[in-house]
């Protein structure tokens, strides 16, 4: 990961990608395209070797930052704050589930391929 994060051009692209992700967070979450986008995120993370613990830790930190912004914005409006927090939690959980399941399935597929290779069933 250090190699990736030491490339300024790549870091700029990643920031742009993350910005687009945040802007799309929850938009049309009931559409197939939304889930497919989240699947691509999981596949990309798995392909580049980003461990789930790092993904989940970073995502949790991002979630905390968003919650803080919402809390600052809706200070004094407890009903609205509670509603937004609840909705954001559902969206984030949905996204995390899709990405983590993608990690799992990609890992299982890789293990199955390795097993076929070692048993000569390739």
Highest mean pLDDT among 31-35, 77-81, 104-108: 77-81
Asked whether 103 and 46 are in contact (CB, 8 A), the reply is yes
**Arithmetic mean of pLDDT over the chain:** 89
Superfamily designation of domain 2-119:
Globins (1.10.490.10)
| Mean pLDDT, residues 41-53 | 87
Q: Which pLDDT tens digit goes with each residue over 63-83?
A: 999 999 999 999 999 999 999
What is the rounded CA–CA span in Å between residue 105 and residue 47? 12
The yes-or-no verdict on residue 2 having pLDDT over 70 is no
* Alpha-helix runs per DSSP H in the chain: 2-5, 8-24, 32-47, 52-73, 78-119
User: Which residues have CB under 8 Å from 11's CB, separation 6+?
Assistant: 5
Q: Which pLDDT tens digit goes with each residue over 13-30?
A: 989 988 998 888 888 878
């Amino acid at each position: 990961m250090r190699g990736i994060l030491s490339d300024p051009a790549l870091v700029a692209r990643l920031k742009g990608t993350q910005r687009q992700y945040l802007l799309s967070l929850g938009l049309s979450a009931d559409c197939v395209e939304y889930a497919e986008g989240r699947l691509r995120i999981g596949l990309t993370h798995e392909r580049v070797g980003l461990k789930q613990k790092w993904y989940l830790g970073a995502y949790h930190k991002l979630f905390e930052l968003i919650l803080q912004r919402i809390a600052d914005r809706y200070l004094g409006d407890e009903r609205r704050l509670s509603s937004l927090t609840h909705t954001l939690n559902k969206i984030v959980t949905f996204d995390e589930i899709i990405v983590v399941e993608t990690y799992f399935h990609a890992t299982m597929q890789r293990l199955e391929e390795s097993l076929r290779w070692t048993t000569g069933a390739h």
